[in-house]
Amino acid sequence: MRHPHLSDFLAASQPAAWLEVHSENYLAPGGPRVAALERLRGDYPLSCHGVGLSLGSAGGLDRAHLARLRALYDRLEPALISEHLAWSTAPDGVFLADLLPLPYTREALAVVAANIDFAQEAFGRRLLVENPSTYLRFCEAGWDEAEFLGELARRTGCGLLLDVNNLYVSARNHGSDPLAPLDRLPLAAVEEIHIAGHARVATAFGELLIDDHGSAVIEPVWQLLAATLARAGPKPVLVEWDTDIPALPVLLAEAERAETCLREAGDAAG
């Protein structure tokens, strides 16, 4: 749910099955932004997607931020809440406006698992954790991403927000097969799926894919979505488009194609 489309949704019913918002955009205790969202949640199921919790922070989570998020979730009663497998807060309390990657080590696993446990207790809700897009590998990593996420789900009971575009971007950047993780990911824990567009950037080391949510979903990502749904079964699918936001009919056409993928997966499963 992006601001340029808000008036369209408030004026008339739109062919959208559900809406997602970034939690941190709605932390004010009142005002027109929250009031509009409260109107819309009466017509559309809602998912709240956090971007500032910093689950990978070794210093633990910000209790004040957790309390603000809990108040928001109690007010909106979203069907799903989620965050990123990343860190964004420095030890001195400085917030870094990016979702930075983690080394997939046992030490990092212990930190993230403790933070997820703490967050789920603070929220009184199950948290979904999103796989990030990655552009490098850490030499220290002893786990691959699918194993790391599987162990997180086992230890904490968290769910998984599977970003299919991120799977594709990471695999292409690392020269691997984007289908391969589907055989090792904890697909039973997947409760939401994201798809999006990405950018291609030429570097001195070759082409790099950047997860920028600024264009239409490309055909290989649609194919990867279909393969994911064939294995995991129908799940809520969200089209992310956060930069160079198009007119609403363009976005709704992407959402309709996602609905088609879901219907086909349901038909195959039935």
Identify the pLDDT of residue 253: 97
For residue 262, pLDDT over 80 is answered with yes
User: Predicted confidence band at 222 (pLDDT cuts at 50, 70, 90)?
Assistant: very high
Portion of the chain with pLDDT greater than 70, in percent = 100
Identify the structural domains of the chain with CATH numbers, from first to last.
17-269 (3.20.20.150)
Confidence of residue 209 (pLDDT cuts 50, 70, 90): very high
Contacts of 57 (CB under 8 A, 6+ apart): 87, 88, 89, 111, 115
pLDDT of residue 71 exceeding 90, the answer is yes
Q: Is the pLDDT of residue 90 over 80?
A: no
pLDDT given for residue 92 in this prediction: 73
3-class SS string, the chain = CCHHHHHHHHHCCCCCCCEEEEHHHHCCCCCHHHHHHHHHCCCCCEEEECCCCCCCCCCCCCHHHHHHHHHHHHHHCCCEEEEECCEEECCCCCEEEEEECCCCCHHHHHHHHHHHHHHHHHHCCCCEEECCCCCCCCCCCCCCHHHHHHHHHHHHCCEEEEEHHHHHHHHHHHCCCCCHHHHCCCHHHEEEEEEECCEEEEECCEEEEECCCCCCCCHHHHHHHHHHHHHHCCCCEEEECCCCCCCHHHHHHHHHHHHHHHHHHHHHHC
pTM of the full structure: 0.95
Dihedral sign for Cα 168, 23, 118, 98, please.
positive
Does the pLDDT at position 159 exceed 90? yes
Question: For residue 91, is pLDDT > 80?
Answer: no
Distance CA 129, CA 233 (A): 19
Whether residue 123 is predicted with pLDDT greater than 90 in this model: the reply is: yes
User: How confident is the model over 228-233, as a mean pLDDT?
Assistant: 96
The single-letter code of the amino acid at 68 is R
CA pair distance 222, 146, nearest whole angstrom: 20
pLDDT of residue 170: 95
- Residue 246's pLDDT is 96
Predicted confidence at residue 26, as pLDDT, reads 95
pLDDT at 48 over 90: yes
Q: Which residues pair with 81 in a beta bridge?
A: 48
Q: How confident is the model at residue 100 (pLDDT cuts 50, 70, 90)?
A: confident
pLDDT (average), residues 140-169: 95
pLDDT of residue 269: 73
Instruction: State the chain's mean pLDDT as an integer.
Output: 94
pLDDT-derived band at 95, boundaries 50, 70, 90: confident
C-alpha distances in Å from residue 257, one per residue of 9, 113, 126, 195, 249:
20, 35, 29, 11, 12
